[in-house]
Structure 1
């Protein structure tokens, strides 16, 4: 094969996930894969991404459209080459999208200390946002710096593309993968260290005390269809929120989401991934507004199965509008846990055959969080090794936030469903980057 290659420096970050014996996916999904996993396609009936035309990514790529990349510039060049013709991009090592650091993205004259001095609550107050600040102000220079980062770290993925890591240590650091308004994309065997927003914005009017707001999701599926994310690891890595400073009495938040599926996106399957060490993890549907709802109703169909959700705060996922099927996932909470499933506007979540490992003192009532009164199906779920009716315990312990039972639809696009009690062992030993066989 005439594989094209771009050379360059790559750093390495540790894989996060189970360290026990690696297992492959069971059932048709495993049996259908060719010897070269880069030519793999999603098996029939494997979640919503298998619906209709299915998801094949770049499996049909000819030799001229197979690339091996080791640098961020090389990766973006491979994405742009050949338009929407089927392509395979193989990633070797860890590619840093901001290898020269945040300072390289700052606008001339931008000074963070000056920003803090001008907009401190005791000087600026909490009644006026910064939107009217001129271009030469600290906020104006922050906006230019943020635009530089936006252009640098976002990578637009074309239709009919497979992006796959080579070996056990492939991935991206500080990148934002944009799967936007395209069809038929596969992303596999990659470790993503969440991008940090180098230039978060202070909003004095956000809440009673003001707040820092950040941009850049690790991966965004925006108005796209037939997307399969498999055997990836999503983590905050070397920049956890626990290590972030506080300014103006608020956490200097530099992270957004790990995976968002928004703006009428449809037919997405996320399987055998690890989502770890993050706050606002996964968002399905990004707004309750009626203007957004018009494009989301009838869409946002997503399947999550055999994923490990570990040491997260919330949104695993938070759902608006979509028919989301979540089964055979393992949720491992720690002391910072807020909830797993967010039940949002007009959502139709089915959460079945999952396992939850909660620390002492954390009630199973917290697994579900009601943002709107939408129906949910939650059957055959285990908490700390025992069956628990998640809806019943939620309604009993959280008065005033009653959740109705019965999502109104029954998932049919599933391959092998494992017993909920066996899920921790199966998922912990099979999910995440570096375990694709």
Structure 2
């Protein structure tokens, strides 16, 4: 019995490239409007959900249930004074938020929202476009989006902004590796990097019979590739700079991080890019691991569940569930320390992902080998390598206090042990103000 299905990229890619230019333009405009509306609703949803967790009302003034609060905040930002720091590189300072927002919107162009529908007399897929390497387009847009953050922090001429942008660069490098390795497992299983092809590969579960009972094993990769799904979900939280990984904009340390010096519409573009990235990575997780626009299993409960416009309902229902997980993390977990954050990415997620991919590749190689002895040798050898890797997994060393206590002299970054706070050079002490008075009285 074959459990892992493989997609047919030629069949899915053949559906694209036949639409007239005006229909493609309509699709692009609809996607842009959809992302903006989803951003407004996500902000409202986050405020309401966190307020519910903290036992307070949340936004409830503007519009029914406070639904217009996000729109009111956007209008307020548009009418705020637009300030540019004196020491800023003005051209780069203005272009940085545009780069972040443009990359976030572009990444959504290859996300399949549904199957074939009829629009204005044309049979067309509910997807703007697709490529044989559509998944890599999303990864490249995610990588390019950080350039907006880095350039914005550098061009601001502020130390806090620069530190936030450097953190963002290190964060993206660290967690994009883990995210990319998670997608390698999906590619090995589906046989394609086309987003529509990956959804097609998950469309049908595998038939299985036990006794007189026949059923289907769900084909969603969240179940078949569970380690990759878990690592992907953790990685995208770090990739989007969301709590508990919101270190580039840690207000307790960096005032506001990379966007400290931004105001008005330029700050709104950074805000828009962050929430569009949340929607995009949620849609990507849905496409890669949750069956995309397919109805929740068992799909046989309604024969027409995956036809017409119904797939959009299933798709956005899954996206909303994943967006709630973002909000849930924000309202639950405290911010990581920077060393904890880097240790998780480099010493846990990346090694575990590599071991999992080796095991998966060995399983496929053994399954496709000729002869029972060859299959057993390949699968057993890979299993032995994985076992050895787990046995020799590096563990954290137990902390040992220093032999001699630190006196505070040269123990950087430990400050001196004296609790006396030195006076600020800009503030005169009481003794300094008394001396001129005494001198004048002596005269």
TM-score, structure 1 as length reference: 0.24
Structure showing greater radius of gyration is 2
Larger RCO, structure (CA 8 Å, separation 6 or more): 2
Structure with the largest fraction of strand:
1
TM-score, structure 2 as length reference: 0.24
